[in-house]
Amino acid sequence: MARLNQIIAVEKGAKGRAQREIADVLRTLQKPALLSGISRVYRPKDDEGETLPPESTKVQVRSEDALRDVAKSLTRLFDVVATKDWANRDARADVVVDGRTILAQVPVTYLLFLEKQLAELHSFVDKLPVLDSAESWTYDESQDVWRTDPVETSRTKKVPRAHVLYEATEKHPAQVEAFTEDVIVGTWTKVAFSGALPARRVNELRDRVDRLQSAVKYAREEANATEVDDRQAGDAIFGYLFA
């Protein structure tokens, strides 16, 4: 069993580590290339047409994985602060969202901490990448990413042609004009992939953060303003937020 001063000593380090890890996640999510994938398959127009190898890139980063990483990073911090605050709790109140008690008998100091963290989480959710609304996306269970419907585009090749301006006569040779013509020789089939989130998912997450923020503020208003038992609050919080 730890002492309160030991918990206070490790709190600053846990907070700094969580902030660095979240910053790393956000930097990764701001790189569209890591969230995007593509598959292109070429089909020649006929058996004599040129064959080209398929092209593909895989989605390297998935936003749902980022949410889990953030939850993991913050859970330790939330637990450390919960252990400290519960040890000195005097004023406390329940955090209730839509009749559901998320956390019971929360000290006012921890409610203040939650308000700050939820404000930062709100900012994080606002920065989550959203699927391009100009595309029609479906979820690909086999690859655990979103994908678009296949789109076919033609591949053309310039073919030399000749046009006879004047036919040959006994006195004059034929006059011929050379030109090139774009001829369809095959078809590209393109499918785009993405590790971003649907807008409805981001809106749902934002709504959950908003509701929890309101509940925490209400609980703080309701609350009055050593050895410790370890507390686990992070799993309960992120079990609700990112469910």
pLDDT digits (tens, 9 = 90+) for 20-61: 999 999 999 999 999 999 999 999 988 888 888 999 999 999
Residue recorded with tokens 């963290």: 117
Tens of pLDDT, residue by residue over 104-160, are 999 888 898 999 999 999 999 999 999 999 999 999 999 999 999 999 999 999 998
| 58-72: burial string, b at 16+ Cβ within 10 Å, e else | ebebbbeebbeebbe
What is the model's pLDDT at position 225?
43
User: What is the token pair recorded at 108?
Assistant: 């006012």
Residue recorded with tokens 């637990």: 79
Tens of pLDDT, residue by residue over 158-167, are 998 888 777 8
Strands (E), the chain: 36-44, 55-57, 92-97, 100-107, 137-140, 145-148, 151-166, 175-194
What is the model's pLDDT at position 90?
65
Helix (H), strand (E) at residue 52: none
Judged against a pLDDT cut of 90, whether residue 7 lies above it is answered with: no
What is the model's pLDDT at position 84?
85
What is the 8-class DSSP label of residue 236? H
The percent of residues above 70 in pLDDT, for the chain, comes to: 97
Residue 163 φ/ψ, nearest 5 degrees: -120, 125
More confident call, 228 vs 179: 179
Average pLDDT over residues 198-203: 95
